[in-house]
Amino acid sequence: MVDLWQLDATAQLELLRSRSVSSNELIEVAIERIHRLDPQIGSVVTARFDRALSDVADADESAPFRGLPMLLKDAGQELLGEPHYVGIAALRDLSNRSLRTTPLAQRFLDAGLGIVGRSTCPPFSSGVTTEPPGFAPTRNPWVLDRTAGGSSGGSAAAVAAGLVPIAHGSDATGSLRYPAAFCGLFTLKPTWGVVDAVTPSGTTDVCTVWQEYVLARSVRDLRLMWPLFTTKPLSSETVNRAARLVDGRGDGRHRFADRCRVALLRHDPIVGLAVDEQTIAAIDAVGTTLGAAGHDVRIDHPAALGVLGERRLEWAAATDVAIDAIRAQSIAWLRQILGRTATDTDVDPATLEAAQRGALLAPDAVAQALDVATQLIGPVGEWFGSADVLITPVTHQGPWHLGEREPLGVGLFAAPFSFSRQPAMSIPVGQRRDGTPIGVQLVAAHGGDSLLLALAAELETAGVARFDWPPIAHR
């Protein structure tokens, strides 16, 4: 018999609606597993167990997700009067509390979700690992001395270990996709602009890349949550509308054809770094499965990615200007809360240096830099007129050991599709010989979220894309 914690969000919701379990039972299951397993993982930075129970009790009985437990990433989305640290120990030591509830967080509460805690993230939710100074690092549930990825690493580790069925995360240049790949989960970075996203410090999304969604153990859970994340209000059609996404008609933009044009990218065309052979084998397995299902599969990729590599100094200069501006905003926000100048004991020296450069930028410098970046990245999106979906690695290699420096070029496969503002998924396709999961990225044209969900569902049904339980889940 399957225990409650092993069920995905859709199955848990079915039990709640049939009154086979109570909302308190599911919340208590999540609380018990967090108490028992999280000390080994480090995925929950602040607990709100009693508040989750009271929130669910106070929710309208018709709320579509009433009683379903989840975690909220400790960045961007806020709950009035509750802790908000954004991975910065100085804010924790100050007992910083939010002054508002953000719109998306309010929708979670209105929908009846039981937010049992806030998940760990690196400072300012920036980085490809979740090792915030002054906090316990988040450990990969598969191999505990490896990174769970970042910046949504706490959420990913919790879902993979069965603490909660789903968890909120966010992604600017890969922060949903990296931890999903490293922990063996499904996630979607939606088309930019369809989600009411908030940056970690609540400041302007300078690069227009910030997105939010959930990490899950099934594709149907990603479909289930879609209506809650879109800017359209909740309605009684929530679940039915989510279910319709499987055939590609949910967003009114794409129909999932029987025959998709699928391109496989098996190498790094940007700087030529090696991709591990097990990741290439996973991409090939996806291609073979889709080809056998009747899709048009070929080896191909946007030539513009190679051009991006040839002009990488221009690309780096442009994106560095935007990043400096973001750091300046974040440090100014932190200074306002702390009531003093931020120091290198609060954040790392590189962030402070970037913020200092950003504060000195001319008023039109960021706009000019983003114009250059848009010109460089534009042809990448235009290529999708010749293919429906591009299959790529998420990273060149698997998760590295905690405390190690991140590998060179770790973001090369994910970041371009953030700046092109296209939807992208990470799906789990087997494990490496070292016991860590392999993530494969699916990318579609702007607005093609439903197409990705449909194709991922087909791969899941075929058994190629599949969540497996890490050993720690059964302890």
Name the residues annotated as catalytic. 73, 151, 175
Q: Rounded to whole angstroms, how far apart are CA atoms 64 and 62? A: 6
Categorise residue 439: left if φ over 0, alpha if ψ from -120 to 50, beta otherwise.
beta
Task: Give the number of other Cβ atoms within 10 Å of residue 349's Cβ.
Answer: 9
Q: Rounded to whole angstroms, how far apart are CA atoms 393 and 376? A: 21
Question: Is the C-alpha dihedral spanning 71, 77, 80, 84 positive or negative?
Answer: positive
Instruction: Identify each DSSP E strand in 308-388 by its residue range.
Output: none
Task: Give the number of other Cβ atoms within 10 Å of residue 397's Cβ.
Answer: 17
Structure tokens at 149: 């990825």
Q: In sequence order, what are the beta bridge partners of 263?
A: 298, 390
Q: Which residues contact 371 (CB under 8 A, 6 or more apart)?
A: none
Strands in 424-431's sheet, in edge-to-edge order, are: 44-47, 114-119, 69-73, 166-171, 211-216, 186-189, 424-431, 437-444, 389-393, 261-264, 296-299
Categorise residue 339: left if φ over 0, alpha if ψ from -120 to 50, beta otherwise.
left
